[in-house]
Amino acid sequence: MDGIAHIREADGTRQSVLEHSINVAKLAALYGSKIGVRNLAYLAGLLHDVGKYSREFREYILYEVERGEAPSKRGTVDHSTAGARILFDDFHTDTRSTRNPKHVIISEILSCIIMSHHGGLVDYISSDTSSAFLRRINEKDIPEYEDIKGRLEHLVSKEQYWQLMDAGAQELHQVLSKSSGSNDVYVTISLLTKYLFSCLIDADRTDAKCFEEAQPLPTDIPSNTHLFETCYERLLGYLESLGKEGKESPINALRQQMSEQCDSFAEKPTGIYSLSIPTGGGKTLSSLRYALRHAVLHGKERIIYVIPFTSIIEQNAQEVREVLNGHDFVLEHHSNVIADGNEEQRSYLKTKRIVLAEENWDAPIIFTTMVKFLDAVYVGGTRDIRRFHNLANSVIIFDEVQALPIKCVSLFNVAINFLKNVCNSSILLCTATQPALEFVEKSIDRVDGEIVTNIGAVSKAFERVEIVDRRKPGGWGTDDLAQFVLDQIGNERSILAVLNTKSVVRKLYKQLEKDCETGDIKLYHLSTSMCAQHRRDVLDDVKADLKNGNRVICVSTQLIEAGVDISFDCVIRSLAGLDSVAQSAGRCNRHGEHPLKLVYVINHKEEDLRHLKTIKVGVETTERILTAHQRQAGKFDLLSPETMNFYFASYYNGLKGDLNYPVESVKESLFSLLRGSNKYKQNYLDKYHKPFPLQVFSSLGTLGDHFQVIDTRARTVLVPYEKGKELIADLNEDLSPKEMKQLLRSAQQYLVNVFEHEFKVLVARGSIVPQMDGMIYELTEDAYNRKFGICFDEPGTLDTLSF
């Protein structure tokens, strides 16, 4: 019997299990070779579909092709457990005294990824001491198991089988020898498991796609060195033209100096480095200069920008495209963007190439979000993990890394260590407010160097604001604050007031609106109760008024701190973390248009931060620093790198219980589930009176199920702002699947996330209209305000942007 792996839909051509298995093994080995685990990845690919040799699977796949209108049996035949059990039986159950301990660990790793390749990685042990892994290995009924096992020699000889395991044992030893610090051997084993899983998933999906489309299988990893050389020359040409056009000034000279330092620093070997260029210092192009030259000199495969907010990604990606003429090779991958152009106007192959690149990050230069980066490592299932292996041998630039959610700090740090030490990737932590990630318990191994050599002098030279502590006993009320804003607008042309919650922002706006009715002041409001396009339109209006010299007051939540290139004469910032104060200060006198301008820090008594722990700890830490600044009569700079370093060390210490991503329902942190919970092992011993029988005891399935970079306990609502009205009308038409897909893509700019309690208010008011059986929620036109966005009857909450 010749096993059938796939049957092509277009012409009924069959792909044998042998052909598919060899193809996947070769592709997985290619991906694994990037970190020296070619044989381990090859073995996983070879055995992953051996279960398809069963008569049951053959009957199932033929039925699916011929069933017509009959119901599908998709998912009813398990073909992924057989290969896992064969490996486990051969190298784990075998009790010979001469067995290789590394073979035992390999059998656990590879058996796990083989049995999981259709549903996501499973737990070796769970909180209730059960083991999905052992249940599949020991208890799953495989009726034709001995027949399937006998077919193994059709794929690989016994001699080659053992040679692969022996070579894999050497590979495992080499990987584990790179464990250090926070990444002990157990953390390294788990991340290696995820990397090998990524290789298998991408290889399996790629071969299936190539077979279905009758396309040749990739045989190597294309080099991007020549492209990066060309891009580097284009960038240098652009920077030279900027120098000729720009005015001679100390600031421009410093920008040029820092750019040249990035160029020279690129010669250093693979490592974790920091780039602490102040706001307005040309961070994007300087980091790109480092990345392109470093990639050329050290043979890196791709450059990946990881940025916290989509608003920054769009503007940075566009700038890089224009500078490098990179419309064909710069990929944006985030919630708001798809490939440019109309699908009907592009060739079939080009469309498919772009789709594949979006799925597995097979592109030279990528702009993505922190969410998608961390999802590629930690989230469950099989979709996102496919990208993990393409993080290897790359230059990865983390812009505004201080925005990393506090619960993800430990998981981020060990991923970075693995990428550097095992995957040969260079990491650049790029921000004006470095978050001191080496000073937490589960830390990055070390920062190997700071690119800007004279960071203190540079920070002083870029000093454009003075922080003024205007806290007062009992705090500021909205009325007092409104009057203070109006007092300042008497002296300055433009004021930005940044507060912590949406409710106080709306309240301040309404109070100012009464006082500005008869004047010539342009008043604006910004928060994430407004859809992305609405916010963009408001910012365009604000920028136009600022350019024309009009008097402007903008009242905003912290969203305006997220990389918005805008400059006010004065900023008032409600007390927050020192990094947020620094980011708000970056919107004041941003381009050095004036001598020092003032940034006032106030304490707003109407902001309720009791349930916002991370904001509250940031506020308390900043308060201590401001008080020390007062007592020492301002003898230290509040925004200096040294002060910021002290702030983050204190901030993380105040939140040390949250850094490992604790999850109450599993009575553990997600970091412990990655490493393996000693508590779970002890519970197993107590319950069964024998030790847990596996060397690996991580809970990767539970970790993946619970991992979320940002809290998604929110509903997404399509709002009737401008083109959003047309999209809502189109939803009521009879659309084809393709038209619906395009409509949903277009809707990204007109969506607003609302918290559950806010959603209930809108439902009770009759302001929500469900579409497509509740898959999409529309907002009625009377519930959307051109000043505030969605109008709620309840007080607002902390403003949050999508990462």
User: Residue 235 has which token pair?
Assistant: 């960038």
Closest by CA to 294, choosing from 324, 258, 264, is 264
Tokens linked to 704: 């993946």
Amino acid 296 reads V
In this structure, CATH architecture of domain 225-457: 3-Layer(aba) Sandwich (3.40)
Residue 290: CB atoms within 10 A of its CB come to 26
Per the structure block, which two tokens stand in for 160? 């080659």
CATH of 4-212, one of 1.10.10, 1.10.3210, 1.10.287, 2.60.40: 1.10.3210
Report how far residue 1's alpha carbon sits from residue 18's, in angstroms, rounded to the nearest whole number: 12
Q: Alpha-carbon distance 502 to 529, whole Å?
A: 8
Of 124, 115, 188, which Cα lies nearest the Cα of 681? 124
> Residue 506 is encoded by which pair of tokens?
């709306």
Q: How far apart are CA 720 and CA 551, in angstroms?
A: 30
Q: Are 276 and 434 in contact (CB under 8 A)?
A: yes
For 659, what's the count of Cα atoms within 13 Å in the CB-facing half-sphere?
A: 20
Pairing mode, if any, of strands 394-399 and 302-307? parallel
**Counting Cβ atoms within 10 Å, is residue 64 exposed (0-12), middle (13-18) or buried (19+)?**
middle
The ranges of the chain with pLDDT < 70 are 1, 94-98, 244-249, 311, 334-359, 518, 712-713, 735, 737-738, 741, 745, 772-774, 793-803
Q: Are 200 and 80 in contact (CB under 8 A)?
A: no
What is the pLDDT at residue 360? 77
Q: Give me the residue spans of the domains in the chain.
A: 4-212, 225-457, 464-638, 714-790
27/564 Cα distance (integer angstroms): 42
pLDDT at residue 793, as a whole number: 56
- State the average pLDDT for the chain: 89
d(CA 136, CA 80) in angstroms, rounded, equals: 10
pLDDT in tens, 320-330: 999 999 888 88
pLDDT number for residue 392 = 97
SS3 270: coil
Q: SS3 letters for 420-456?
A: HHCCCCEEEEECCCCCCHHHCCCCCCCCCEECCCCHH
> Which residue, 500, 539, 644, is CA-closest to 582?
644
- Are 225-457 and 464-638 in the same CATH fold? yes
Beta carbons within 10 angstroms of residue 515's beta carbon: 16
Strand blocks (E) in 249-376: 272-275, 302-307, 330-333, 365-369
Q: Which fold has domain 464-638?
A: Rossmann fold (3.40.50)
Asked if 670 contacts 701 with a C-beta cutoff of 8 angstroms, the reply is: no
Whole-Å CA distances, 339 to 162, 349, 375: 46, 14, 21
Among residues 234, 79, 154, 656, the alpha carbon closest in space to that of 648 is found at: 656
Outline where DSSP puts E strands in 617-713: 662-663, 668-669
Structure tokens at 315: 């503007």
Encode burial over 689-701: b for 16+ CB neighbours within 10 A, e otherwise: eeebebbbbbbbb
Tell me the whole-structure pTM to 2 decimals. Answer: 0.90
> pLDDT tens, 349-361?
344 444 455 567 8
SS (H, E, C) 731-770: HCCCCCHHHHHHHHHHHHHHEEEEEHHHHHHHHHCCCEEE
Cβ neighbors of 49 (< 8 A, separation 6 or more) are: 5, 17, 20, 21, 24, 79, 80, 83, 204
Let me know how long the chain is.
803
Strands 394-399 and 365-369: unpaired
DSSP state of 555: E
Going by their DSSP bridges, the two strands 570-574 and 494-498 should be labelled as parallel
